[in-house]
Amino acid sequence: MRTYTVQRVPSVSGRVRTGATLLSCLASVLAAGLLLALLGLHPAALGLQVLHQSLANRYGLEDLALLAAPLAMCGLSVSLMLRVGLWNIGADGQFFVGAAGAAWIGLYGPSWSTLPMLALMGAASMTAGAAWIAVPALARLILGTSEIITTLLLNFVARLGIDWLVTGPWRDRASSVTAQSPRLPVAIPKLPRDWHLGGMHWGLAVVLALACVLALAFRFTRWGYELRICGANRNAASYAGMAVNRRLLEAMLLAGAVAGLGGMLELAGTVHRLQSGLSNGYGYVGIIVAVLAASSPLGVVVTGVLMALVLNAGTVLQTQGVPSSAAVALVGLILLSAAVGERLANYRLQRIPPAPRPGQAA
Amino acid sequence: MARTELLIRPLVQLSGITKSFYGVRANQSVDFSLAGGEIHALLGENGAGKSTLMNVLTGLYQPDSGCIAIEGHARRIDSPAAAIEAGIGMVHQHFKLVSAFTVAENIHLGWNETPFRAPAALLEARTAALSRRFGLAVRPSARVGEISAGEQQRVEILRVLARGARILILDEPTAVLTPPEVAILFAALRAFRAQGNAVILISHKLGEVLEIADRVTVMRAGRSIETCAAQGASRASLARLIMGDTSLPPMQESGRAVADDAAVRIELRGVTVRDHRGIALLDNVDLQVRAGEVLGVAGVAGNGQRALSEILTGNLRPDSGTVLLDGQAVAHPTPRRFARHGIGHIPEDRLRTALAADLSLAENAVLREYDRSPVARGPLFVPGRARALAVRIIDDAQLDRRDPSLPARNLSGGNQQRLVAQREARIADRVLVAAYPTRGLDIGAVASLHAAMHRLCARGIGVVLISEEIEELLDHADRIAVLFAGRIAGILPASDAESERLGLLMSGQALVPDAPDRDPGRAA
Ligand SMILES: Nc1ncnc2c1ncn2[C@@H]1O[C@H](COP(=O)(O)OP(=O)(O)OP(=O)(O)O)[C@@H](O)[C@H]1O
Ligand SMILES: [Mg+2]
């Protein structure tokens, strides 16, 4: 007779971990399909429709890219801090504040030509995002306050601040919409038409370039190595003579700047006006993007696209009478099963050797 | 002897245990039997598979093949809870207590006999009763964070015994104990044995093994190669069994008088360090480390050794006094400054301070040289060169696992220590500060570590050897400084030091009269 037992193994290779993540994504999509089937819909047909609408024509691809870009920026921001073992729950707030910084330059700044103007707006957004996380960062380093709570709370402050700006001082008085700023005089140019990405703007290239730069920096610089050690064991990092607090501060400020830049790209590339609907919870989905990618910058690009696909599916489902919150539920389901999958990757099913005949042991 | 063994049914019988990790055979058809009423020592080189075998017996790992019989009945042990049910308890080398809890709370944590309503007084009374019953002195209301390593270990053992263990497994229990604490532990083990229970003891200290064990099993490269009675065995015969044909490197001369005009590498002048409560860890310490000498630091652990090693390596700033490197006062000591100056540091707690256990061997091996050529190129980090350097370090450290991408956690305890020692010796151009560097090393590795230390000295590098073992210091140090309650109680040339005098100094009895009678923080 054969019996099996479940056994924990102390460490798993990266490949096994990636496989576990992929399997759990698949499992949650299947579970979602099952739910849809129970609702009397045809999950396979719906799935095909989602894929068709998102991938098979230029408008679908454009939508996908437009959604994936901010998700990837927030994902990069979160993964920067994950490198040193810290959680950035506040990418959403930094995204908004970055957009506000860029809008301020766009509306009230100099009137230069497009490129220098965009560069200045980018710099302003990064400064604003970094400044927004500076308070939680310093609180963490000086007082030991948990950055999870402080960065999260500042999201609400940021959102309320934007609400106030766009209904008050920066409100567009020429339009009948009460909660948005005037249209910015500059916009990020569109990609060439024959690239088949529809009306996607050059911000996409910025996202990809940033992901590549971060990936190279993590792997091929001393700074990246130091971040890795700081994330794995801070005692060992300071024993080895690294400036641990400085590295943590740099990672946090940079994370804020990246999320802020994401806000600027969204503002100047897609929305063109500051408004409180600028981020659709991108900062929060960014956490999932980073976790699924195991905080690898290139992985973030992939998982960003995946999450965009899931959110797009929500739009398609809406046309079938499924509430739009279904997509959010699916995102949650994916995160949940990825977390479970990561734990389970540590376990193996193992055959127990047959019991000895009585007397053999004596 | 053989006949009685046949008649007595063994308490535990492991037969044909095989366990591999990703292609490495950690255990290869191992047979092992434990009789009631014996203390059975399990010996073997680093990485021989001792911890793995015990983890199989306590249900942490499942064997790939082979079986376990308890009192003649085949038994499946698929979790530590099942092991405790079968009467098997293990005390791991790294204690697993909650340091913010009291002793009584730790004993009752996760125990199904803990009463549902558990006021502190009740738990403490129950703990006191257990402590009397098993003859292990503990103070039930003390917080675990504040008691000595020896007492923590007694709490661990009591935890296991309270749950009804009849088989006690101790993985290198004496590595962190002072000699009096070892004596207390051994007395308790003998009492436990007298009741017909059994002990499995993993140790690299052959003297202790001969003192307490009834039988000895030796493992080599994953196999059990011999089981014999401890009576009639000698250190030399055990060492031969453990090491096979490899021979120990010859021992170096020590106790050489180092010339008085030898350059002073590190000097401490009136250094005082206080902890956050204002208690002095080091009190007005003057010390010189000279080029080419082994400066031994003797003392019972907890008398300021940690602070001393951290001061000597820039990990701690003195509250008053000065630290001089090659005669130059250092205004703001940092570990980087000291490492750059050529000061290596083997800290006392390798997993907490010296290694990132989840990262690869390669990343751990270059921890000290990642910022210099060839691994670094300006601000760049060249992974290929880091890997090449790591392979060198892994080879020189003679690790049993050679794959640089393996996580450091997967190394056996002794192999982790070898990696740290090799890495630090490489950067030590001026001084190597080694705190208990032989902890967890097998006899061969201990000998090569000492040989490496003397090679450093021959190159004019100063070595600070912090140790609790008087014998090790007498054998290898040129001068011996004794630490007591944060002060230097005396510095003797090793040639005039004898054990008795050192022992008196270490216990504070030969201290100068004006010494304050402070408690050094160790339990009596
Ligand atoms: N979790 C693991 N994953 C991979 N390899 C492992 C793991 N645990 C142990 N090993 C390998 O199995 C072998 C035996 O290790 P084990 O810890 O049993 O040695 P040991 O006899 O206890 O040595 P030491 O005296 O150094 O503690 C070693 O080669 C080790 O690298
Ligand atoms: Mg071991």
Do the domain assignments include residue A325?
no
> Does the pLDDT of residue B152 top 80, yes or no?
yes
Judge if the beta carbon of residue B410 lies within 6 A of ligand 1. yes
Inspect the interface and report whether the beta carbons of A362 and B10 lie closer than 8 Å. Answer: yes
Torsion from C-alpha of B173, B467, A232, B397, nearest 10 degrees: -90
Residues of A with CB under 8 A from a CB of B: 3, 5, 7, 9-11, 219-225, 228-229, 232-233, 235-236, 238-243, 350, 352-353, 355-356, 358, 360-362
Q: How many domains does chain A have?
A: 1
Query: Taking the mean position of all CA atoms in its chain, how far away is CA A199?
Result: 22
Distance CA B152, CA B472 (A): 25
Judge if the beta carbon of residue B152 lies within 6 A of ligand 1. no
Most confident of A162-176, A220-234, A269-283: A220-234
Do the domain assignments include residue A161?
yes
Q: What is the ipTM of this complex?
A: 0.85
Q: What is the mean pLDDT of residues B304-324?
A: 93
Inspect the interface and report whether the beta carbons of A356 and B339 lie closer than 8 Å. Answer: no
Q: What is the mean pLDDT of residues B214-241?
A: 92
Reported as a single tens digit per residue, the pLDDT across B31-82 is: 999 999 999 999 999 999 999 999 999 998 888 889 999 988 888 888 888 8
Do the domain assignments include residue A182?
yes
pLDDT score for B100: 84
pLDDT score for B257: 62
pLDDT score for B325: 94
Instruction: Indicate the pLDDT class of residue A20, thresholds 50, 70 and 90.
Output: confident
Do the domain assignments include residue A238?
yes
Strand ranges of the sheet holding B479-484, from the earlier edge strand across to the other edge: B343-346, B431-435, B462-466, B294-298, B479-484, B487-493
Q: Which of A160-169, A311-320, B428-437 has the lowest mean pLDDT?
A: A311-320
pLDDT score for A10: 65
pLDDT score for A2: 57
Do the domain assignments include residue A94?
yes
Most confident of A228-232, A345-349, B230-234: A228-232
Distance CA B373, CA B429 (A): 16
Could you tell me the residue range of the domain that residue A112 belongs to?
70-293
Distance CA B208, CA B202 (A): 11
Q: Which of 42-81 (B) contact A at CB < 8 A?
A: 61-67, 69, 72-74, 76, 78
Cβ contacts of B150 within 8 Å, gap of 6 or more: B177, B178, B181, B184, B185, B523
Reported as a single tens digit per residue, the pLDDT across B238-255 is: 999 998 877 776 666 655
Judge if the beta carbon of residue B400 lies within 6 A of ligand 1. yes
- Provide the H-helix boundaries in chain A: 14-38, 43-55, 58-83, 91-108, 114-138, 147-167, 203-220, 222-232, 234-239, 244-266, 282-292, 297-318, 325-344
**B273 sits in which H/E element:** strand B264-274
Closest CA to B227 of B51, B41, B57: B41
Centroid of ligand 2 to alpha carbon of B351 (angstroms): 14
Residue type (1 letter), B433: V
Q: Which of A5, A7, A223 sits opposite B379 (nearest CB)?
A: A223
Do the domain assignments include residue A287?
yes
Distance CA B70, CA B77 (A): 10
Do the domain assignments include residue A345?
no
Do the domain assignments include residue A54?
no
pLDDT score for B250: 66
Q: What is the mean pLDDT of residues B1-7?
A: 44
Higher pLDDT pick, B491 / A315: B491
A79 to each of A90, A208, B359, how far by Cα in Å? 12, 15, 18
Sign of CA dihedral B475, B476, B480, B481: negative
Q: What is the mean pLDDT of residues A270-292?
A: 91
Instruction: Indicate the pLDDT class of residue B287, thresholds 50, 70 and 90.
Output: very high
> Does the pLDDT of residue B293 top 60, yes or no?
yes
Closest CA to A361 of B318, B31, B387: B31
> Does the pLDDT of residue B514 top 90, yes or no?
no
Beta strands B39-44 and B198-202, pairing class: parallel
